[in-house]
Amino acid sequence: MSVRIGVVGSVNLDLVASGAPLPRPGETVTGAQFAQHPGGKGANQALAAQRLGADVFMAGRVGSDALAESALELLRKDGVDVSAVMSEIGQSTGVALIAVSPDGENQITVASGANARVETHDAALLPGCDIILCQLEVPIEAITGASTRAQETGAMFAVNLAPAIAVPQPLLETMDLIIVNEIEAAYYGEAIHQGEGLVALTLGGDGAALFKAGQEIARAPAFNVPVVDTTGAGDTFCGALCVALAEKQAPEAALRFASAAAALAVTRPGAQPSLPWRADVEDFLAEHA
């Protein structure tokens, strides 16, 4: 029986210009290639978890515009339950403007649209799950509602603190799993280690580490792979780590699984199109045993 993961988060359409140098302030660059993909940190993490073997339920908002169906296309196609994704009349679907350099680095500007209208009660639309996963591209009130829903149903409450914004300390301390990169970890400092939950820290080329009460309890090295596009790699890690922990994998094995999934994601262009399937990750791990 598959683990069940609920996601409260953002749904975007990614508009991607790739292959040209990233512009400096005030600079225009040419020669890029254009592509359009479904995205949003919430939707990315939901799809990642679904492809990696979980049954995933998504709560969020899209606009009442022509972009909504495109933004939800891959979630529907791959079996994510989007019955709790509401259409917000008079609002636009969230859009991310993404520039990707020839070496795979990116710059992202997000127009939140309907994602800014996700509310406290949206999490109540989720069924009982093993884990409820959130990010910070929706209002803090929605995260608070997800925390309450997790407590009511006995779910593990996981939050990817990205993008880094102020979060009340009492809310931080309700989180059973916090996921941050080095920039986000520096922003929050010791505040993320004050609760009783786990903190997963991604370290780029140095892999990932897992902490409890400020003490490192597990570490996994990074995998050396050719980088095509880093967009979505962090979201893949989040979805994969939640799947692994929900399956009761040991901390080091869970980190290694999540790191392998993220490594595969950077070898392909786009966010959601690059997300690996469970068989891909298991084959990759077997090759790197």
3-state helix, strand, coil in the chain (%, to 5): 35, 25, 35
Are 239 and 233 in contact, with CB atoms under 8 Å apart? Answer: no
Are 16 and 35 in contact, with CB atoms under 8 Å apart? Answer: yes
**17: β partners:** 34, 99
Choosing from 78, 235, 280, 283, the catalytic residue is 235
Are 154 and 137 in contact, with CB atoms under 8 Å apart? Answer: no
Residue owning tokens 């070898």: 267
**Is 229 an active-site residue?**
no
DSSP 232: T
Residue owning tokens 């009460």: 213
Query: CA torsion sign, 110 to 231 to 277 to 228?
Result: positive
Q: Which segments of 154-277 does DSSP mark as H helices, in order?
A: 169-172, 182-188, 233-246, 251-265
DSSP 288: T
CA distance linking residue 85 with residue 144, whole number of Å = 18
Residue owning tokens 């094995």: 253
CA distance linking residue 193 with residue 202, whole number of Å = 15
Q: Which amino acid is at 140?
A: I
Q: Which amino acid is at 16?
A: V
Give the CB-side neighbour count of residue 186, counting CA atoms within 13 A: 3
Going by C-alpha positions, the residue among 178, 175, 150 that lies closest to residue 164 is 178
Known catalytic residues are 235
